[in-house]
Structure 1
């Protein structure tokens, strides 16, 4: 049986991160502890991790994950919980510790990216915050600490070489509309949102492109804007009941707005999917909590997290500046009951 650092940690009665630091000869660990851990590893035939050993000395073996401010809201928490969990899991599998923080301290207003870099608390940064101020950009441009953007790319970096991993949001909007059109729907309401990061604009562009490719006329009057909450999806339907006469399907660009729309439709005696089909976006846990189960565009957070972490570790291990990589991962459509087809 192959022994892992977790097994060694249990035998030695220390944390897994302590074992990792000992095996990588970290100066943070006393020599006595290092010798004891190394002896246990040798006795149990532990195979040293080549990638971890390749990291230079005097490292913290800690990665900072900078989460967006929108996570403070319920809808943000529902959406970003899976992103946070997948990133932490990927980093822990690579035997790194994780510091999870926000762009700005809510109480002191201190810039946490600047603080983590200045205090040398992290070896690298994964940034999910879509809006960065000039001070932060200046810090990132001057630092030797590798960083990578995940999910969002701040406006400043859209025209610059930078490491970035995200979902193809345009394709997400496209496959949602394409599926509905192929099901025979032509009059489709689209519920978008005005939020930082640009993802909703891209979903709308993809949605419109599908109409064009099917030689259908897109009607701007069927585009509405919510604020990503359940309540906004509900309110849009309630406030526009008179315009639903010809509508046979709805594409809500996040799941909470889709669920809110379904709730309003039910209250108004409109059957989903018999009268109106509904598609959401994100594939959050709540999609299968209520009937009808929600058809939605699934964002492959696990794959994106793994690629983000892999790329950051490559940057940590590289002694030379490598070409930046911008990776867009394709989403998939998860078909459930809200489009008339059970999964």
Structure 2
């Protein structure tokens, strides 16, 4: 009999491919009835499970937990986090592993809450898309010996063995340097949630570079938009007097930059002729708008691939003592910034 694929097995069982993975890994997230049905079909059709997943210890679930940032309010509102999660998950499913979201206690129900998930060993490892975790959670992780890694939104200054993140300080510095070298002397910054370490690092580096070039970023020129497009639009409209000709605006992510672009267009302010605008993240939507958005490109492909490699090393019991990558980013100059416009 011809061996079937996991996709074909999922269709036969009437479940998703990720559910097949969970069943064959004896995940506690699937009912015993569904597990038995999928396993019976797998045996009948001589399904050969992925060798990497099969090599996991028998007490493993084959499920990895993905912890979103504390300010996460849904997949539609957080493009980058959602995209990273989805793409990592798709790669792990191919390896016979599953990736499921984990949230703070009571935020989206108790089943996938962080502390309960760790205490009950629901996951073989945890991926934290947040700056850091509190001491209680970290203590539980060490007690249960569950591997964990910080990615993307983490604090690059943390002394942690497992970390994959862009240098948020470099991002702010790149934008400040570009504006100053172009000759701008008036600046506005649109920042994300004030207590997030990536926001702090971007802002401090941006302000530091301006200071090194003899400029000061006034507190009144810092707008708060929580990484949200609509809030950025509203903030720019409410403070439109700040956007005088010859102003350079740094929006700490592309969604806020696009919101600012919409507000400026509504007010008849030309970008980049009147106001220069740079975002950060290099999301696809930056090229959907006219003018196309100048941005700082973060290497998300590398973050995703390195994270998957870490998970597979964990699954094979081959985790190195350290796995730490702080990645450089690159300024992508498009239509909203002209290097010589401020001179």
TM class, shorter-length: 0.7 to 0.9
Distance (Å, rounded) in 2 between the aligned partners of 1:134 and 1:282 = 30
Distance (Å, rounded) in 2 between the aligned partners of 1:106 and 1:25 = 27
Find the counterpart in structure 2 of residue 51 from structure 1: 52
> Could you report, residue by residue, the CA deviation over 1:132-161 in whole angstroms, capped at 9, with x for unpaired residues?
34432221221222111122336xx95543
- Structure 2, unmatched stretches of 5+, are none
Number of aligned residue pairs: give it: 327
* Displacement of 1:24: 7.8
Distance (Å, rounded) in 1 between the aligned partners of 2:89 and 2:25 = 20
* Displacement of 1:73: 6.2
Find the counterpart in structure 1 of residue 6 from structure 2: 6
Kept in 2: contact 1:64–1:126 (CA 8 A): yes
* Displacement of 1:280: 1.0
* Displacement of 1:291: 2.3
> Could you report, residue by residue, the CA deviation over 1:69-103 in whole angstroms, capped at 9, with x for unpaired residues?
32216884334221221221222232212222312
Distance (Å, rounded) in 1 between the aligned partners of 2:306 and 2:245 = 43
Kept in 2: contact 1:147–1:312 (CA 8 A): no
Going from structure 1 to structure 2, the CA distance change for 1:75 and 1:8 (only over 3 Å counts) comes to closer
Find the counterpart in structure 1 of residue 82 from structure 2: 81
Kept in 2: contact 1:5–1:20 (CA 8 A): no
Find the counterpart in structure 2 of residue 218 from structure 1: 215
Alignment of 1:228-307 (within 5 A): 228=226, 229-245=228-244, 247-307=246-306
Which of the residues 325, 333, 340 maps onto 1:335? Answer: 333
Moved more, 280-289 or 249-258: 280-289
Going from structure 1 to structure 2, the CA distance change for 1:86 and 1:10 (only over 3 Å counts) comes to closer
> Could you report, residue by residue, the CA deviation over 1:218-238 in whole angstroms, capped at 9, with x for unpaired residues?
312274131323344334434
- Structure 1, unmatched stretches of 5+, are 42-47
* Displacement of 1:243: 4.3
RMSD value over aligned CA atoms?
3.6
Kept in 2: contact 1:146–1:312 (CA 8 A): no
Distance (Å, rounded) in 1 between the aligned partners of 2:191 and 2:21 = 46
1:136 match: secondary structure = helix
Going from structure 1 to structure 2, the CA distance change for 1:10 and 1:185 (only over 3 Å counts) comes to same
> Could you report, residue by residue, the CA deviation over 1:163-211 in whole angstroms, capped at 9, with x for unpaired residues?
1111111122222233334444343322223434311121123324544
Establish whether residue 36 from structure 1 lines up as the match of residue 59 from structure 2.
no
Kept in 1: contact 2:25–2:60 (CA 8 A): no
Higher helix proportion (structure 1 or 2): 1
* Displacement of 1:128: 1.6
Going from structure 1 to structure 2, the CA distance change for 1:275 and 1:161 (only over 3 Å counts) comes to closer
Find the counterpart in structure 2 of residue 44 from structure 1: none
1:339 match: secondary structure = coil
Instruction: Tell me the TM-score normalized by structure 1.
Output: 0.78
